[in-house]
Amino acid sequence: MKEENFCTKGGRMRLSRYFLPTLREDPSEAEVVSHKLMLRAGMIRRLASGIYTWLPLGLRVLRRVENIIREEMDRAGAQEILMPLVQPAELWQETGRWGNFGPELLRFKDRREHEFCLGPTHEEVITDLVRKEVRSYRDLPLILYQIAPKFRDEIRPRFGVMRAREFLMKDAYSFDADEKGLERNYRLMYETYTRIFRRCGLRFQAVLADTGAIGGSESHEFMVLADTGEDRLAVCEACGYAANVELAEVKRPYAYAEEPERPLKKAATPGVKSVEEVAAFLGVSPQKLVKTLLFRAGKEVVVVLIRGDLELNEVKLRNLLRVPAVEMADAETVERLTGAPVGFAGPVGLSGVRLLADLSVRGLKNFVTGANQADAHYLNVNYGRDFPEPEFYDLSVAQEGDPCPRCGRPLDLTRGIEVGHIFKLGTKYSEAMGATFLDRQGRERPLVMGCYGIGVGRTVAAAIEQNHDENGIIFPREIAPFQALILTLGPEQALLEASERLYQELQTQGVAVLWDDRDERPGVKFKDADLIGIPYQIIVGKKFRETGRVELKERATGRREEISPESLPEKLSS
């Protein structure tokens, strides 16, 4: 007889043999609850900033999410491929993104001094593949996808796998002959994503979104609703409008009392810089202040005016200026242009720069601005008189209660975690890279593309963020690492034998089951069981000794019922 493998002796899903390093206390490095719980439950361990290893329990959850995605993508007719993480610079130079992707694109050279990067996304690679292989409209439509690691050298990785530098992503790309085809595929992916996140047991919301570095015409983000989310959403309950606040159009009514223009006056404001400080110092409301913001957009510097109580929306500014990124001008630039230290910039006397203003400034009279001079502000400033009339655009961030741009009812603001993002790319990449096909008339035309991403690890973290209590994780059934956990509470042979029989039987019935056969006291087993969040706990202990029945405890509700061991497999496999 063959010797039994010492690692799998008695079956591999025994906790006494399972690599599950749980932590009794919160690790100090973790801030948000999902990160703490993933570390404590032995799902992940950090290797370096934003770089994580998935341990067996965590990997099982990751795989379950992956498999839901795979099933739904396949069902939608997409075909799975696997592309390289390492990508040659040449492809990125073709689309121009080598230059303007920014420092999160990790670049390096191989031994022959050829330039490469770690792929933060795969538009270039897929477009290269398809331009080489697809010739005819007969090959269309086509959707390809992969589930593979990505690398983005984030400024500030945080929250564990929620904002990691290396992360697992599902990315899909659609290719069509025309806009109509793209529209069909975009809708198909929208529906597929809805199915995926619903199956993962998440409460989520699809919102209109900015297209950012990926580009394209239209896009939606799928947001898991959570207070710890990094994105703010504007949602209208009345008509269903929902948008990332970065994008949400502001249709705020600006009603300003008619008042005569008063003479310009300079006021000393020593050391008074921020809006709150200036307003308090001069005894006026922040709505009477106009902030003067200097931005660097490529080589150009632009000046933007906005009412003091409002927030400037950099995404709107970036899209208006049609540049890949805008950033606040540094102190040196501010001083050179305004002649004053940061905190005292104003539009009066500025020249040689483009002057923009948010709609909130239009109609505003006798406002307060910096005087372009240290420790001084102007009162009673009026555009058209004291400085040239600026170009007005919608450049502010939507606020709670602003009117919905579609129906006018007040908007709600909530927070969300972006787990999915879909884009209509159009011909941006196909034209740049010459990815064309021959249509029915034999004309050469660029492929019309879409792209569709899901953060797999982030989805796991978001699910935990939404499903936990003070004792630990409560996994939604579809993504739980196991369906049931057998707790053997006591060292007696009879308990062990009964547990082992149950364990074998459940496995034979196809129920994913883990058995806590460790020589630990009941308290330890209960605590770990609640922490790792497996939906059902099967307790073989006191009740079994007394009655021969076991207890079935549901993790989510804490409900316990007594049940005969024989009826368990049927109950759990349903």
Partner RNA sequence: CGGGGCGUAGCGCAGCCUGGCAGCGCACCUGCCUUGGGAGCAGGGGGUCGGCGGUUCAAAUCCGCCCGCCCCGACCA
Residues engaged in binding RNA (CB under 7 A):
22-29, 31, 40, 46, 48-50, 155-159, 273-278, 291-294, 311-314, 327-329, 331, 334, 342-346, 369-370, 397, 471, 489-491, 519-524, 526-531, 539, 541-544, 551, 553, 560
Q: Minimum CB separation from RNA for residue 310, in Å? A: 8
Q: Which tokens sit at 41?
A: 């439950």
Q: Give the shortest CB-328-to-RNA separation in angstroms.
A: 3
Nearer Cβ to RNA (348/422): 348
What is the chain's percent helix, strand, coil content, to nearest 5?
A: 30, 30, 40
Q: Min. distance of Cβ 302 from RNA in angstroms?
A: 11
For residue 30, the one-letter residue type is: A
- CB count within 10 Å of CB 201 equals 16
Closest separation in Å from C-beta 509 to RNA: 23
Q: Which is nearer to RNA, 314 or 402 (CB)?
A: 314
Residue 172: Cβ within 10 Å count: 26
Give the 3-state secondary structure of residue 437. Answer: strand
* Whole-number Å distance between alpha carbons of 133 and 440: 18
- Per the rule left: phi > 0, alpha: psi between -120 and 50, beta: everything else, 343 is left
Nearer residue to RNA within complex by CB, 96 or 558: 558
- At its nearest, how many Å lie between RNA and the CB of residue 477? 19
Q: Residue 529 is which amino acid?
A: A
Spatial distance between the Cα atoms of 68 and 194, rounded to a whole number of angstroms: 12
> Considering beta carbons, is residue 12 or 560 the nearer one to RNA?
560
Nearer to RNA, 107 or 158 (CB): 158
Q: How far is the CB of 250 from RNA (least distance, A)?
A: 12
By C-beta, is 239 or 331 nearer to RNA? 331
For RNA, which is the closer residue by CB, 346 or 535? 346
Distance from C-alpha of 412 to C-alpha of 398, rounded to nearest angstrom: 10
Give first-to-last CA distance, the chain, whole Å: 37
Q: Please report the sign of the dihedral spanned by the C-alpha atoms of residue 127, residue 132, residue 136, residue 141.
A: negative
- The DSSP call for residue 216 is -
Write down the least CB distance from residue 61 to RNA, Å: 19
Residues 64/479, Cβ–Cβ less than 8 Å: yes
